[in-house]
Structure formats: C-alpha cells, structure tokens
Amino acid sequence: MQHLLAALLTRGYRVLGPTVRENAIVYDTLTSVDDLPIGYTDEQDGGSYRLKRRADQALFGYAVGPQSWKSFLHPPSIRLWHAKREGRSFQMIPEQQEVPKLAFFGVRSCELHALAIQDRVFLQGAYVDPVYQARRDRLCIVAVNCGQAGGTCFCASMETGPQVTAGFDLALTEVLQEDRHYFVIQIGTAAGAELFHEVPYREASSEEIERAEHIVKETAEHMGRHLETTGIKETLYRNLDHPRWEEVAQRCLSCANCTMVCPTCFCTTVEDVTDLTGQQAERWRTWDSCFTADFSYISGGSIRPSVKARYRQWMTHKLATWIDQFGTSGCVGCGRCITWCPVGIDITEEARAIAKEDTR
C-alpha cells in the first residue's frame, strides 16, 4: 500500500483517506500508510458510533464514518466573489481559487454511487457548477470493497454496494488470512493502470480472486439494515398524510445532522457579508438544509413551518421525488443519517412503518 500512496504523492496529488481523529474515522490528508486506521473497527447503530480495536492489522476493517467525500468537491463554505470600494464606485473581484489535485483513497461503493449522483446534480444539468467541476476533473479514485458491513448500512437494498462496480481508477479488496495479509487489485481506468504498474505485484490466482469475491458476498449478506425499495416511490406519494409523519416529528429535533452527513444532499444558501468600514463586501456559499425554517422561506413565510413538513420533505425527496428529478434514488444506503441522528431516527424504519400501514 505504501508504494501506491507514494506513487500518488509523487504525481503531486493531495491524498485524502480515512484516519482516526477524536474517536472517529474521518477523511484527511494521508502521507503514509501509518495514517490509516490500522487495526480499528467501528460499531454503529441508531444515534451511536464507537471505535474499537480489532484483533488484526486490517487497513480498511470499518464502515464509513461521519464525513463524506462531498466536503472536498462541494465545500461546506466557499467565497464566490468579493468586492472592494473604489471612491464612489466598487470593483468586483472573482475568486482565483487554487484548485488542489486530489486523490481519494479508500472510497466505498456506496460513496462512488453518491459521487455519481452529485455528478448528475452539479455537472449534468442545465447549469454546471464550476467549483465542483474544477475539483472533480482532476480527481483520482482508489476504491475499496467493503470487507464488513456497518450496523446501519443498507447499500445492498439500494443496489449501490458493497461490490465496487464503476467510477474508480483502482479498486482494492483487502484479504486477511491467518498467515497472509494481501490486496487483490482491479484496474478501472488507463490512469489506474499507469499507477498500478508502480506497485510490486503478481497476477492473482483464481483462488485469491474467489476469496476476494467471497469477502464482498459475505458483507452483502450481513447488512445492518434493510430497506424494501419495491414501489417505495408510489407508497410515499400515496401516504403524504400518514400519521407516522406526526409521530416522527415528535422525536425529530430538526437539527439538520442527517442532511449534513448525507453524501448526496447538495442544498446551499448564499450570504452576503460586508465589513464594518463598508470598504469590502463578500458573497459566500454554504451548505444549507431542508430542516431549517429559513431554507423554504419565501415572501410571507416558510412553506415548511413544521418539523413534520420538513422530515416528510427530506424523506420523500430522498426516496421518491429524487427518482423523478434525477432518475435514481437520492439514497445510497450508507447509513450515516441513522448513525449520526442524535435521537436515532432510522430512515429504513420510517419507510417500513409507512409501508406497513399504507393508506391505499
């Protein structure tokens, strides 16, 4: 692995990958394999996350943490332009952002699907987002097949994992045996092939490939959560007045955590700031959430004044209206919104409760 990391660093990439910080696995700069969460795993459930030590030295023996890759391509806060007063006039100054050349190391299948969704939103509509595009165009992706499912994962239900299928330069499967620890590597692009040839390797035997495939198959069979997706769009459309929305609203704090951790949520707001002297003004774009009252404020008030309306908007967008808007579900089954909800609200449980008492 160190050879692969070194090859990326030599090519001038800022390599980002999983590392341990404040008792969680987050994505940050990697300069050595030792920066990875070696020998760690995580326990996840509704509103609960805990790191634990493993008995082995696995490099990727955990599920996804609180952070998603979107924060590097679609920054949480970015200045769009600033203006300076010049006498009785002012000068608009566009941002000259230095765009880093990024390599994402250790991207899971659900996250590749989330990236594809964000590509559709930011690059494939009527308006291309230049901030996202500048980062995405130069991105190198080293993916990892999941060797164990997290307690809140349900990518198998969403058909977004755990097997990596597309959208990577290289894909790794970590194999841990009693006497051996190795990686089976799959090449996804010409850039990946070029990188790969800097790593000492030999052709994998059919037994090694089978073992790697078996690991991913086992992971798929041990998902922590399940979501029944058949007819889910129609079920939600039929049940906009279901009593369950009121029930979940009694528990929901409208804190917006679920939207902040979600790898596909993309909503933003724009704020203008002036300094006290009146000499400079700035325009910032920051992440926003459908769980804030201000987000749906129009002349006369917010169109979603209640928590019930906001939760219903979020869940029906993820699982139903997103399909009409973009052609896929807005959920990739990463489980983050369940783990990082402070009161443990579980999107799979809410969908199940509505389907169970479908008001058709």
- Please give the size of the binding site for ligand SF4, defined by CB under 6 A: 25
Q: For residues 152 and 178, is the Cβ–Cβ distance under 8 A?
A: no
* Smaller CB separation from ligand SF4, 195 or 258: 258
169 phi, psi to nearest 5 deg: -90, -45
Beta-carbon count within 10 A of 181 CB = 13
Q: Name which position in 63, 107, 333, 351 contacts ligand SF4 (CB under 6 A).
A: 333
Q: Is 195 in the site for ligand SF4 (CB under 6 A)?
A: no
Q: Is 347 in the site for ligand SF4 (CB under 6 A)?
A: yes
The residues with which 19 forms a beta bridge, in sequence order, are 26
* Smaller CB separation from ligand SF4, 130 or 342: 342
Q: Is 65 in the site for ligand SF4 (CB under 6 A)?
A: no
Query: Structure tokens of 17?
Result: 């990958």
Q: What does the alpha-carbon distance between residue 287 and residue 298 come to, in Å, rounded to a whole number?
A: 18
Minimum distance between the CB of residue 53 and ligand SF4, rounded to whole angstroms? 26
Q: Name which position in 15, 30, 73, 345 contacts ligand SF4 (CB under 6 A).
A: 345
The contact pattern for ligand SF4, residues 243-262, with x = CB under 6 A and - = no contact, is ---------xxxxxxx--xx
Q: Which stretch binds ligand SF4 (CB under 6 A): 18-26, 30-38, 269-277, 341-349?
A: 341-349
Q: Is 264 in the site for ligand SF4 (CB under 6 A)?
A: yes
State the chain's maximal CA–CA distance in angstroms.
76
Minimum distance between the CB of residue 37 and ligand SF4, rounded to whole angstroms? 20
Q: Is 318 in the site for ligand SF4 (CB under 6 A)?
A: yes
Q: Where are the alpha helices (DSSP H) in the chain?
A: 2-10, 70-73, 109-123, 130-136, 155-158, 190-196, 206-221, 232-238, 243-251, 257-261, 307-316, 322-326, 336-339, 347-356
Q: How many CA atoms lie within 13 A of 238 on its CB side?
A: 13
Q: Is 263 in the site for ligand SF4 (CB under 6 A)?
A: yes
* Smaller CB separation from ligand SF4, 193 or 253: 253
Q: What does the alpha-carbon distance between residue 179 and residue 191 come to, in Å, rounded to a whole number?
A: 32
Q: Is 149 in the site for ligand SF4 (CB under 6 A)?
A: no
Query: Residues in the chain, how many?
Result: 360
Q: What does the alpha-carbon distance between residue 355 and residue 238 come to, in Å, rounded to a whole number?
A: 10
Q: Which stretch binds ligand SF4 (CB under 6 A): 120-128, 216-224, 236-244, 338-346?
A: 338-346
Task: Point out which residues bind ligand SF4 (CB under 6 A).
Answer: 252-258, 261-264, 291, 318, 331-337, 341-343, 345, 347
